[in-house]
Amino acid sequence: NSFENTSYDGPVGDLVHRLTQSFISEHSRPPEWIVAAPGRVNLIGEHIDYNDGFVLPMAIERYVAIAAAPRSQDSARVASIRSVNLNERDELDLDDLPKPSLPPKWLGYMGGVFAGFQDRIGSERFSQIPAMDVLFESNVPIGGGLSSSAALEVATATLLETISGVTLGLDEKALLCQQAEHDYAGVPCGIMDQFSSVFGKENAFMLLDCRSQQIRHVPFDSDHVSILITNSNVKHELSGGEYAQRRAQCDAALKKIGVASWRDATVDDIESNRESLSDVEYSRSCHVVSEIDRTQKAAVAIESGQWETLGELMYASHRSLQHDYEVSCRELDLLVELARGIGRAGGVYGSRMTGGGFGGCTVTLVESDKAVEVSDHIQKQYKKQSGIDAHLFASLPAKGAHAIPCQLNY
Ligand code: GAF
């Protein structure tokens, strides 16, 4: 007999197929449930999701996939979970889920979502969730600034929905996952990453209004331009401290400026309160207000195919993150400079760091037929100047989290 995923292909196909085979060889039976949730890249609108701003991400064709099947009835009610990438195994006791103090690693993200899900659906319904074997694998680079943790959280919530038959509202699901990140990983993140993984849509960016939490999908189906993601392969470990500090600085600045929301703040408001703001608060404020403006302009530029304008907005965003928000680093700056050096003549429209910063990835807008040359050049020069190998790949906007049909063929 053989087990197949119903001729499932698309960007997630290889990953799911591999995971299914691993599950079968490990557990001598096929998975009953398979789900996948994507990472994201943010085109523009950085560090403003927690400042009532707009962000413009897309889900990428890289996923965290989870396969699971019930365990025999007489075993304890646990989820026995193995991470393929890290080759680590751990357990969640479904009758005694972990408290938020759990160390922030993959079990924490998953445990946080299990606990949040139990709260939402109530203990009685949650008690129907059986003991299970779980295997998960990611082709979102782990810790690479492409939201591998949000993808794991959202995949876990999708798994629990599939098993329990209880479907959460999409916003509710994203917010539950954000809460897990706050409570179990200690990162006071905004809503961008989890919303991207839940609401991702093929051939569209998401203009997410982080104040109203409304999404407008902005179609992007150009053959002419591609989204190139470059992983700097560095991660300056700051254990979330810098992130929380930025949030606090913005909150303090907003209070001094005296408006209720960053959305209502203008450059004039910042300038007229210049005296009361510290230098750092002033710089942070300049970033927030200008980035909110750039992001709205970027959505208009995409809709009208003005790629040069979009590219310039991306460069400006990077400069602002580098100098005013101070979340870039040498390696990210180098990657952006290399892209800029290639310029329009070589097929590059614009480039910037993406995600939380201090390492991770850049996002570059390139002419599709020059994408290979651009990648080769950046890779060679980055290696030459930093001694580090960058990883580059292009991605189209991808589908958000979903369950994958399993089928037994005997
Ligand atoms: C991280 C956070 F998780 C997001 O919420 C967002 O703030 C991002 O950094 C910066 O834009 O990915």
Residue 370 CB neighbours (<10 A): 16
Q: Are the beta carbons of 120 and 174 closer than 8 angstroms?
A: no
120 closest CA partner among 172, 183, 197 = 172
pLDDT at residue 5, as a whole number: 47
The alpha carbon of 243 and the centre of ligand 1 are apart by a number of angstroms equal to: 9
pLDDT at residue 105, as a whole number: 84
pLDDT at residue 345, as a whole number: 97
pLDDT at residue 8, as a whole number: 60
Regarding the beta carbon of 190 and ligand 1, being less than 6 Å apart is answered yes
Ligand 1 nearest-atom number relative to CA 356: 9
Among left, alpha and beta (phi > 0; psi -120 to 50; other), residue 240 is: left
Sheet bearing 204-209, strands edge to edge: 54-55, 204-209, 214-219
Q: Are the beta carbons of 143 and 231 closer than 8 angstroms?
A: no
pLDDT at residue 6, as a whole number: 47
pLDDT at residue 208, as a whole number: 98
Nearest CA, atom 9, ligand 1: 356
Ligand 1 nearest-atom number relative to CA 181: 3
Residue 409: pLDDT over 50? no
Ligand 1 nearest-atom number relative to CA 150: 3
Regarding the beta carbon of 56 and ligand 1, being less than 6 Å apart is answered no
- Label residue 236 by pLDDT band (50, 70, 90): confident
Regarding the beta carbon of 46 and ligand 1, being less than 6 Å apart is answered yes
Digit-coded pLDDT (tens) for 306-358: 999 999 999 999 999 999 999 999 999 999 999 999 999 999 999 999 999 99
Residue 264 CB neighbours (<10 A): 12
pLDDT at residue 217, as a whole number: 97
Digit-coded pLDDT (tens) for 55-95: 999 999 999 999 999 998 777 999 999 999 999 999 999 99
pLDDT at residue 185, as a whole number: 87
Report the complex ipTM: 0.99
The chain-wide mean pLDDT, for the chain, equals: 94
55 closest CA partner among 226, 186, 224, 193 = 193
Regarding the beta carbon of 204 and ligand 1, being less than 6 Å apart is answered no
Regarding the beta carbon of 50 and ligand 1, being less than 6 Å apart is answered yes
14 closest CA partner among 134, 146, 138 = 138
286 closest CA partner among 303, 269, 264 = 269
Residue 162: pLDDT over 60? yes
Nearest CA, atom 3, ligand 1: 189
Residue 239: pLDDT over 70? no
What lies within 8 Å, CB to CB, of 246 at 6+ separation is 47, 284, 325, 327
- Label residue 9 by pLDDT band (50, 70, 90): low
- Label residue 2 by pLDDT band (50, 70, 90): very low
pLDDT at residue 241, as a whole number: 87
**Catalytic amino acids?**
193
d(CA 151, CA 203): 19
- Classify burial at 255, counting beta carbons within 10 Å of its beta carbon; exposed 0-12, middle 13-18, buried 19 or more: exposed
pLDDT at residue 1, as a whole number: 40
pLDDT at residue 104, as a whole number: 67
- The fraction of the chain above a pLDDT of 90, given in percent, is 89
- The fraction of the chain above a pLDDT of 70, given in percent, is 95
What is the model's pTM?
Answer: 0.95
366 closest CA partner among 223, 219, 231, 233 = 223
